[in-house]
Amino acid sequence: MTSARGRGRPKLDRTVDNREQILTTAREMFSESGFERTTMRAIGRRAGVDPALIHHYFGTKNDLLVAALRPEVDVATVFAGIADTDATVGCEFVYRVVDFWERDPQQRARAVALLRIAVTHDQVADRLREFFLGVATGVLGEFVSADERGQRVAMVMSQMLGLLMARYVMRVPAIADAAASDLSRWAGPTIDRYLFGDITNPSDRR
């Protein structure tokens, strides 16, 4: 006799937060064993759930990885009043991004893990790109010049990704050892130019 919940549909345990338990277990196992050696079955076994439930919530292992490691950022709080400071928008944006990562090692560790994996996994890179573009667009959208808007936001994202990779993944000494205020002073003007400066090709000005 077929259950009322339908053939093949995983049974949900209403007494626990299955989704959060899966995410917590996935973070632990990805950290311990790496992405390739961690299976959905192993995660399910440690979390005490049917592996089918993991697929029900998250889909593929790539999607689970992104969900488990994506930083939890309250964008509205982190970037509140970004234009109401003595610094330019670009400088303030750089400072707040780096300062957030410095003050929250757990969130930084998740993001760094994603950056590392995204280099060799296209689907993870796609999800990470969507996340960073979403943050950049949401925070800086009102400050971006109308001309070549998409390109401007993309360049802001590329600048910040390069900076974060250099600081936290490659550990370039001058970048890794710098204070958030120094990085803001160095990279902020470039962000400002991408947002509302002249980005035309020099040859087009002739």
pLDDT in tens, 21-43: 999 999 889 878 888 889 999 99
**Residues across the chain:** 206
Domain with CATH 1.10.10.60 in the chain: 18-69
Say if residues 96 and 83 touch (Cβ distance below 8 Å): no
What pLDDT, on the 0 to 100 scale, is given for residue 162? 94
Torsion sign, CA atoms 42, 47, 48, 50: negative
Q: What is the pLDDT of residue 20?
A: 93
Q: Is 75-197 in CATH node 1.10.357?
A: yes
Whether 156 contacts 89, CB under 8 Å: no
Mean pLDDT of successive 10-residue segments in the chain (206 residues)?
A: 44 66 92 87 95 94 89 91 95 97 90 86 87 92 94 95 94 97 97 93 59
Q: In the prediction, which pLDDT does 79 show?
A: 96
Q: How far apart are CA 91 and CA 83, in angstroms?
A: 10
pLDDT at 200: 79
| pTM assigned to the model | 0.79
Q: How far apart are CA 25 and CA 28, in angstroms?
A: 5
Residue 107: per-residue pLDDT: 87
State residue 13's pLDDT score. 52
Intervals of CATH 1.10.357 along the chain: 75-197
How far, in Å, CA of 49 to CA of 120, rounded?
29
87 SS3 class: coil
The amino acid occupying position 8 is G
CA distance 126 to 68: 15
DSSP 60: S
Domain 18-69 has CATH 3.40.430.10: no
